[in-house]
Amino acid sequence: MKTLVAPSMLSADFGKLAEETRRVELAGADWIHLDVMDGHFVPNLTVGPGVVKALRPVTRLPLDVHLMIENPERYLEVFVEAGADRITVHAEACADLARTVKKVRSAGAQVGVALRPRTDWKVLSGCLEAIDLALLMTVNPGFGGQAFMPEVLPKIEALREVFDRHIQVDGGINDKTAAQTRSAGADVMVAGTYLFRAADVRQAIASLRGEP
């Protein structure tokens, strides 16, 4: 499976989001990852559909929207209308995960389901056929710049045995931890701090794919 790279715009300069988006697109990014936080599901607040809409005309890359919000069903349509290509909801935030997954699909986007580091992958068992992506968080969601949690690696391996679509990792991803997650079976690398602090973002993106 080809490794894809999705820069997390959470670590970009928010005063220049359009420019930063173009910069990572030109440097070889595959998707643009947008972290939506509501101050309830996680203790932080970030951006909403207005920012998705503003970035839609800026890039040709898919907009990969990671909803770290309670009751995500309420906002699915507004994010799809704003231009989200893929919506990832947290299993822990859904009262009826199968129903939310269906609603994302019928709103017209690809569907991802995210799990906090300590959530068992088996909560996905009932919907593996219905989703395009599983996001296995490698930090506790809420903030950029945290340390990668290696205890998630066996979960990646276990899920890879039964799931042949995208396994995305998010949190503390750099050249070294990307290599560990790729060997475990992940194929989509989300990275914020590592990419936006890099002196050469093209080279940093390539390094997440294991290229020199």
By beta-carbon proximity to ligand DX5, the closer residue of 18 and 147 is 147
The C-alpha torsion from 35 through 147 and 190 to 21, rounded to 10°, is: 60
Contact 208, 168 (CB under 8 A): no
Q: Which of 30, 38, 64, 170 is catalytic?
A: 170
Which residue, among 192, 211, 209, 212, has the nearest Cα to 24 in the 3D structure? 192
Chosen from ligand DX5, Zn ion, none, partner binding at 7 (C-beta under 5 to 8 Å by type) = none
By beta-carbon proximity to ligand DX5, the closer residue of 69 and 131 is 69
| Bridge partners of residue 88, in order along the sequence | 66, 112
Task: For residue 106, give both structure tokens.
Answer: 């019928």
Distance CA 188, CA 107 (A): 23
Task: For residue 139, give both structure tokens.
Answer: 């930090």
Is residue 170 flagged as an active site residue? Answer: yes
Q: Output the CA angle 84-89-93, nearest 5 degrees.
A: 145
Q: Which of 35, 38, 64, 187 is catalytic?
A: 35
Distance CA 192, CA 177 (A): 13
Which residue, among 125, 142, 129, 1, has the nearest Cα to 68 in the 3D structure? 142
User: Looking at beta carbons, which residue is closest to Zn ion?
Assistant: 66
Chosen from Zn ion, ligand DX5, none, partner binding at 72 (C-beta under 5 to 8 Å by type) = none
Instruction: State in angstroms the smallest separation of the CB of 186 from ligand DX5.
Output: 14
Chosen from Zn ion, ligand DX5, none, partner binding at 49 (C-beta under 5 to 8 Å by type) = none
By beta-carbon proximity to Zn ion, the closer residue of 64 and 209 is 64
Instruction: State in angstroms the smallest separation of the CB of 212 from Zn ion.
Output: 27
Residue 35 touches Zn ion, criterion: CB under 5 A = yes
Residues in 128-187 that interact with Zn ion by CB under 5 A: 170
By beta-carbon proximity to ligand DX5, the closer residue of 102 and 117 is 117
Residues in contact with Zn ion by CB under 5 A are 35, 66, 170
- Give catalytic residues, as residue numbers: 35, 170
